[in-house]
């Protein structure tokens, strides 16, 4: 049995106890519809942004004190403008759409990876572009923000990497899941640029299992939650998912067992995370988990480990830079959360079939075209 299989079985045995689910009144509906909404203001802007396909709406029983909305943007992966304007354009678009929300968002959570290579210029560009959003903004870091200067510039711009606040009956918590990578760069004598380059690759076989919450932050989380009624809603933002999806890409946190130990007594926990750049839904123990879209590019689903509760997004059109990406809008009203993916590239249908065929059927392998041309 592979290491990954062993880990996954252990997680299932530990967390998926019979009858244990996030909230006994949990209701999930998945609706597919087209949202014809225009931005208020300039007609040209309205024309450009007139179609917002909203997809995979998840309604969850909740008990917020009064209705409100908030918005999520993450994974903008900004390069300096002189190198790449594509990601800049998409960040501008997301910020404009968030600012145009009606009713407005109470706050914006930015879920990490604002920069591509952690450069001062990239981080400052992100802060500048997000000024379009006038609502309160809170930030958690991604690995792309951190490893050039170990979070120095990010901290100056965006503050503490973990925090909490209460809003209209909900306890919100932001976690830092990126800054505790094992230090392999000192012994390798790497420059900051080399370190950042290694951390910026999706393949974690070089940088190792860098995603984690850490003992110190787990203790802080435990203390923060101890003053909160165990049945009241908690929403935790993290860059990485707080369970094991696919460790080779750090689609997990390595200390998910300890995270679960802290959260187990709380009946109504929702984790909203970035990093995976794809539609993702899971329930682990008493926590539900929602993976959000990036504005930059969509990652493919991992070759294994996609949660069974996920209704996978269909493969994106590589010719459309706005396909498979976007931002998220979360409404908390009456007794439910309604979560909407704002995916730009789709005109109509989102989920139109079951899981992606590559997940449910074996791939048909064939030789590469180059191998046919050069058969030696």
Return residues touching Fe ion (CB under 5 A): 75, 113, 142-143, 275
CB of 252 to Fe ion, least distance (A): 12
Closer to Fe ion by Cβ: residue 251 or 266: 251
> What tokens appear for 59 in the block?
């309604």
State the minimum distance, in angstroms, from the CB of residue 250 to Fe ion. Answer: 8
CB 252 within 8 A of CB 238: no
Least distance from Fe ion to the Cβ atom of residue 275, Å: 4
> DSSP characters for 305-326?
---TT--PPPPP-TT-TTTT-E
Contact 295, 266 (CB under 8 A): no
In the complex with Fe ion, the residue whose CB is nearer, 195 or 275, is 275
Beta carbon nearer to Fe ion, 268 or 282: 282
Closest CA to 125 of 71, 83, 67, 171: 83
Q: How far is the CB of 75 from Fe ion (least distance, A)?
A: 4
What is the nearest approach in angstroms of Fe ion to the Cβ of residue 44?
Answer: 30
161 Cβ contact partners less than 8 Å away, ≥ 6 residues apart: 140, 141, 151, 154, 155, 174, 176, 179
Q: How far is the CB of 273 from Fe ion (least distance, A)?
A: 10
Q: Which is nearer to Fe ion, 143 or 258 (CB)?
A: 143
The alpha carbons of the chain give a radius of gyration, in whole angstroms, of 20
Residue 232 beta carbon to Fe ion: minimum distance, rounded to whole angstroms? 30
Residue 191, classed as helix, strand or coil, is coil
> Which of 75/338 has CB closer to Fe ion?
75
Helix (H) or strand (E) holding 57: strand 51-61
- Omega before 243 within 30 of 0, i.e. cis: no
* Least spacing, CB of residue 99 vs Fe ion, in Å: 23
Which residue, 59 or 89, has its beta carbon nearer to Fe ion?
89
Q: Which is nearer to Fe ion, 180 or 275 (CB)?
A: 275
Tokens of 130: 């997000």
DSSP 110-165: E-S--BSS--HHHHHHHHHHGGG--SEEEE---HHHHTTTTTHHHHHHH--SSEEE
* Residue number with CB closer to Fe ion (68 or 158): 158
Integer angstrom CA distances of residue 281 from 88, 310, 331, 373: 28, 5, 17, 43
> Least distance to Fe ion from the beta carbon of 188, Å?
22
SS3 93: helix
Find the shortest distance in angstroms from Cβ 79 to Fe ion. 13
Distance separating alpha carbons of residues 271 and 310, to the nearest angstrom: 15
3-state secondary structure of 27: coil
Q: CA 118, 150, 274, 10 torsion: positive or negative?
A: positive
Closer CB to Fe ion, 75 or 149, in the complex: 75
Nearer Cβ to Fe ion, position 45 or 321?
321
| CA atoms lying within 13 Å on the CB side of residue 285 | 25
């Amino acid at each position: 049995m592979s290491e990954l299989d062993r880990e996954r079985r252990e997680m299932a045995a530990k967390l998926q106890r019979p009858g244990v689910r996030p909230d006994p009144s949990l209701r999930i509906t998945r609706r597919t519809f087209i949202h014809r909404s225009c931005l208020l203001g300039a007609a040209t802007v309205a024309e450009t942004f007139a179609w917002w396909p909203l997809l995979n709406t998840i309604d969850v029983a909740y008990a917020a004190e009064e209705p409100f909305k908030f918005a999520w943007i993450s994974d903008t992966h900004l390069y300096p403008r002189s190198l790449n304007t594509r990601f800049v354009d998409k960040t501008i678009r997301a910020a404009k759409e968030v600012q145009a929300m009606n009713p407005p968002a109470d706050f914006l959570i930015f879920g990490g990876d604002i920069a591509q290579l952690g450069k001062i210029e990239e981080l400052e560009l992100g802060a500048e572009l997000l000024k379009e959003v006038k609502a309160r903004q809170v930030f958690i870091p991604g690995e792309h923000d951190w490893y050039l200067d170990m979070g120095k510039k990010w901290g100056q711009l965006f503050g503490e990497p973990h925090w909490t606040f209460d809003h209209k009956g909900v306890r919100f918590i932001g976690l830092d899941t990126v800054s505790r990578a094992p230090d392999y760069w000192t012994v390798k004598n790497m420059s900051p640029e080399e370190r950042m380059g290694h951390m910026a690759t999706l393949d974690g076989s070089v940088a190792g299992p860098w995603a984690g919450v850490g003992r110190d932050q787990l203790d802080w989380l435990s203390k923060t939650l101890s003053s909160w009624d165990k049945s009241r809603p908690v929403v935790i933002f993290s860059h990485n998912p707080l369970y094991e999806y696919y460790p080779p890409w750090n689609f997990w946190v390595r200390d998910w067992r300890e995270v679960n130990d802290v959260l187990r007594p709380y009946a109504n926990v929702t984790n909203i995370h970035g990093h995976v750049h794809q539609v993702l839904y899971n329930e682990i123990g008493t926590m539900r988990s929602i993976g959000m879209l990036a504005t930059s590019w969509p990652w493919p689903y991992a070759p294994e480990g996609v949660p069974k509760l996920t209704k996978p997004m269909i493969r994106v059109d590589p010719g459309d830079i706005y396909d498979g990406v976007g931002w998220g809008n979360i409404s908390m009203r009456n007794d439910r959360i309604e979560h909407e993916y704002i995916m730009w590239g789709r005109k109509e249908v989102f989920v139109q079939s079951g899981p992606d065929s590559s997940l449910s059927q074996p791939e048909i392998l064939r030789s590469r075209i180059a191998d046919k041309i050069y058969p030696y």
